Amino acid sequence: MTPGLSERLTVVRERIQAAARLAGRDPAEITLIAVTKFHPASLVRDLAALGQRDVGENRDQEAHAKAGELASLGLHWHFIGQLQTNKARRVVSYAHAVHSVDRPRLVDALDAAVGGENGPANGGPLDCFLQVSLDGSPGRGGVTPDGLLPLAQQVLAAAGLRLRGLMAVAPLGEDPDPAFEHLRLLSLRLRRLAPEANAISAGMSHDFEKAIAHGATHLRIGTAITGIRPTRG
């Protein structure tokens, strides 16, 4: 067992419970995704032994290898990184959800991939979160708030995809509260179009309690659980 892993996971689970109670929310409506990028498959195996079923990865090459090695564990793999269209087919072969859907061509590629012979991992449809850019910096990916509803319409019309909701990363070096509140309001707007697309993927190690206060349903937490990430080889 990875040293300290069990203790850190327990602390994070307790903090989630406390933040949910403080926000008057039911902790059961919050899904913890343990982000395991850069860490070896053995750490993911340890997490599975601790009852952690949802894991997040941001690079196809690494995720594909780990998901293949650990296929027998029946984990739910969440793809959370920027995704090139030419990787869509492979990602769909192991991922249950993609949190970084942010442009029409990627929607087309994912839908086509689900219809292909090698996907998706859960038999389909593929769960999709639309990644929204909250700071207008295109470098980190995400659709602008203006482009959100047209993109949602496209996912709703795609037979192989299931629109789950929104995803965002709070802007770097700023108070995350206004960003998470903006995301919550965008979620309300989306739900007028698609009431079932009520998920909000937000909150990382340093800001997940604030994300919970603003309605996050899927937390993507790495270092607070895994410890410091090894540098990428």
Ligand X SMILES: *Cc1c(COP(=O)(O)O)cnc(C)c1O
**Site of interaction with ligand X (CB under 6 A):** 35, 37, 58, 80-81, 169, 204-205, 220-224
- What is the rounded CA–CA span in Å between residue 87 and residue 9? 31
What DSSP character marks residue 38?
T
Minimum CB separation from ligand X for residue 230, in Å?
Answer: 12
Minimum CB distance to ligand X smaller for 118 or for 223: 223
Nearer to ligand X, 61 or 223 (CB): 223
Q: How far is the CB of 38 from ligand X (least distance, A)?
A: 9
160 versus 180: smaller Cβ distance to ligand X: 180
Shortest reach from residue 41's CB to ligand X, in Å: 17
- Strand-pair partners of 42: none
The structure tokens listed for 37 are: 């990028």
35 closest CA partner among 223, 228, 222: 222
Q: How far is the CB of 115 from ligand X (least distance, A)?
A: 27
For residue 158, give Cα distances in angstroms to 19, 137, 164. Answer: 36, 28, 13
CA distance 106 to 161: 12
Q: How far is the CB of 149 from ligand X (least distance, A)?
A: 23
- Give the H/E segment covering residue 36: none
Q: Quick check: bond before 125 cis, omega within 30?
A: yes
Alpha-carbon distance values, 47 to 8, 94, 206 (Å):
11, 18, 20
Q: Which of 75/169 has CB closer to ligand X?
A: 169
Closest residue to ligand X, based on beta-carbon distance: 222
**For ligand X, the closer CB: 12 or 114:** 12
